[in-house]
């Protein structure tokens, strides 16, 4: 895998960590097991039977927990910092052939930043859902996030540059919302 491709895969997987923490690792482990993605040294365990079983169980438990309206808010408090760490780890698992300083900067800024951006957007969506539906719409938001985590993870592996384009569109959309809201407040 080329350097640019590994960076794109890493940032795409990190962004998926912003939707759900365990899904990207499960998808990455399966892809590594199938020989689709080379893992950096120290991350080969992701493709082991034990890791795939543990990641499957963790994914199912995480998905189920987000269906409980009061529990999803508690999970958001824990998931926000955990998503950033998971995003950095997901990037570290695949980003290769870079000088150490550039590799770590890519992992922390690119991976952690992508995960934080997506996680922040999901928290805002959940809060808006809670306010507008009294929390009854949150399970639908959670289902959308779960599907987005799987799609983003798969895209990161199968079409990493498309995943980056979608992430850029998300960033652009968020910036447009922020600018339009700030203009609305001043007027």
pTM of this prediction?
Answer: 0.88
The reply to whether 23 falls in a domain is yes
**Distances in Å between the alpha carbon of 81 and those of 17, 21, 31, 39, 112?**
11, 11, 26, 24, 10
Contact criterion met (CB below 8 Å) for 152 and 12? yes
% residues pLDDT > 90 (the chain): 57
Q: How many domains does the chain have?
A: 1
Q: Phi/psi of residue 98, each to 5°?
A: -115, 150
**Distances in Å between the alpha carbon of 172 and those of 85, 141, 165, 177?**
24, 21, 10, 9
**Distances in Å between the alpha carbon of 12 and those of 56, 74, 133, 175?**
20, 26, 31, 19
The reply to whether 185 falls in a domain is no
The reply to whether 28 falls in a domain is yes
The reply to whether 187 falls in a domain is no
How many C-beta atoms surround the C-beta of residue 96 within 10 A? 19
The reply to whether 46 falls in a domain is yes
- pLDDT per position as a tens digit, 115-156: 999 988 888 887 887 788 887 787 888 888 899 999 999 999
pLDDT digit string (tens) for the chain, length 187 residues: 788 999 999 999 999 999 999 999 999 999 999 999 999 989 999 999 999 999 999 999 988 888 776 777 777 778 889 999 999 999 999 998 889 999 999 999 999 999 999 988 888 887 887 788 887 787 888 888 899 999 999 999 999 999 889 888 877 887 787 677 667 655 4
The reply to whether 110 falls in a domain is yes
The reply to whether 84 falls in a domain is yes
The reply to whether 186 falls in a domain is no
Domain extent at residue 172? 3-180
* pLDDT (0 to 100) of residue 134: 81
* pLDDT (0 to 100) of residue 187: 44
- Could you please report the per-residue DSSP string of 25-45? HHHHHHHHHTTSSPPPTT-GG
């Amino acid at each position: 895998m080329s350097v640019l491709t590994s960076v794109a895969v890493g940032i795409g997987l990190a962004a998926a960590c912003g939707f759900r923490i365990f899904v990207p690792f499960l998808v990455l482990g399966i892809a590594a097991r199938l020989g689709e993605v080379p893992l950096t040294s120290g991350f080969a365990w992701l493709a082991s039977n034990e890791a795939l079983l543990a990641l499957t169980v963790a994914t199912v438990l995480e998905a189920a927990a987000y269906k409980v309206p009061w529990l999803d808010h508690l999970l958001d408090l824990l998931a926000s910092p955990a998503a950033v760490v998971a995003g950095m780890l997901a990037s570290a698992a695949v980003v290769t052939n870079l000088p150490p300083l550039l590799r770590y900067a890519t992992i922390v800024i690119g991976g952690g930043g992508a995960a934080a951006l997506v996680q922040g957007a999901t928290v805002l969506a959940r809060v808006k859902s809670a306010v507008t539906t009294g929390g009854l719409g949150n399970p639908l938001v959670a289902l959308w996030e779960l599907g987005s985590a799987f799609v983003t993870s798969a895209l990161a592996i199968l079409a990493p540059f498309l995943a980056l384009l979608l992430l850029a569109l998300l960033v652009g959309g968020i910036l447009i919302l922020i600018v339009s809201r700030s203009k609305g407040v001043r007027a």
